[in-house]
């Protein structure tokens, strides 16, 4: 039992070490994560479509959200296990949330990375990761498998 625990801990440490080295090679550190989150969410607030949805949900709780997003992106980039939230549940029932907002979110995220990413590799890594996250959230929040039921598909007259 103790050997199992020690082996898992060593494996986790190795994964984290590899991730930290990979991020360092593309110029990403904790300071960049802070800059990314602060810059991006500052732009989200100013965005005509995204801003009202985010601000309605987070009014009075922006500092907590910013800290949580920094933990989230650090955990994703450095594989440090520092985020224990539930993103799907956090987005359920958000007034004004729609699948159409995710492409806008991604466009704004990409523009932010264009302006601040320390390298093309960092830009690409964060964009690919954001696209996977957006796709996952979109499917989790808005996909209805019944809509793919062939019995529901009608041919045009």
Q: How many CA atoms lie within 13 A of 101 on its CB side?
A: 19
Looking at residue 108, its pLDDT comes to 98
List the one residue out of 54, 60, 49 whose CA is nearest residue 37: 54
Q: How confident is the model at residue 146 (pLDDT cuts 50, 70, 90)?
A: low
Instruction: Please name the residues in contact with 154: beta carbons below 8 A apart, sequence gap of 6 or more.
Output: none
Q: What is the pLDDT of residues 22-80, one digit of tens each?
A: 999 999 999 999 999 999 999 999 999 999 999 999 999 999 999 999 999 999 999 98
pTM of the model: 0.83
pLDDT given for residue 151 in this prediction: 63
Summarize pLDDT for 87-125 with one digit per residue, the tens: 777 777 778 889 999 999 999 999 999 999 999 999 999
Q: How far apart are CA 36 and CA 69, in angstroms?
A: 10
Positive or negative: CA dihedral 20, 132, 69, 11: negative
Residue 1's pLDDT band (cuts 50, 70, 90)? confident
> Using the 8-state DSSP alphabet, how is residue 26 labeled?
T
Q: What is the pLDDT of residue 15?
A: 86
The pLDDT score that the predictor gives to residue 65 is: 93
Q: What is the pLDDT of residues 3-21, one digit of tens each?
A: 778 777 777 778 888 999 9
So what's the pLDDT on residue 150?
Answer: 63
Query: What's the confidence (pLDDT) of residue 7?
Result: 76
**Cα 156 to chain center, whole Å?**
39
Instruction: Report pLDDT for 54.
Output: 94
Q: Rounded to an integer, what distance in angstroms lies between the CA atom of residue 104 and that of residue 55?
A: 16
């Amino acid at each position: 039992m103790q050997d199992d625990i020690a082996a898992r801990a060593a494996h986790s440490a190795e994964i984290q070490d590899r991730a930290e080295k990979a991020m360092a090679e593309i110029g990403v550190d904790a300071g960049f994560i802070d800059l990314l989150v602060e810059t991006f969410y500052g732009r989200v607030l100013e965005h005509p479509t995204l801003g009202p949805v985010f601000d309605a949900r987070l009014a009075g709780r922006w500092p907590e959200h910013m800290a949580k997003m920094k933990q989230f992106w650090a955990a994703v980039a450095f594989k440090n296990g520092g985020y224990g939230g539930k993103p799907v549940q956090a987005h359920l029932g958000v007034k004004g949330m729609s699948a159409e907002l995710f492409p806008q979110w991604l466009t704004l995220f990409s523009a932010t990375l264009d302006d601040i990413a320390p390298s093309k590799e960092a830009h690409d890594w964060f964009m690919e990761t954001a696209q996977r996250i957006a796709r996952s959230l979109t499917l989790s929040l808005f996909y209805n498998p019944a809509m793919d039921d062939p019995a529901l598909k009608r041919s045009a007259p």
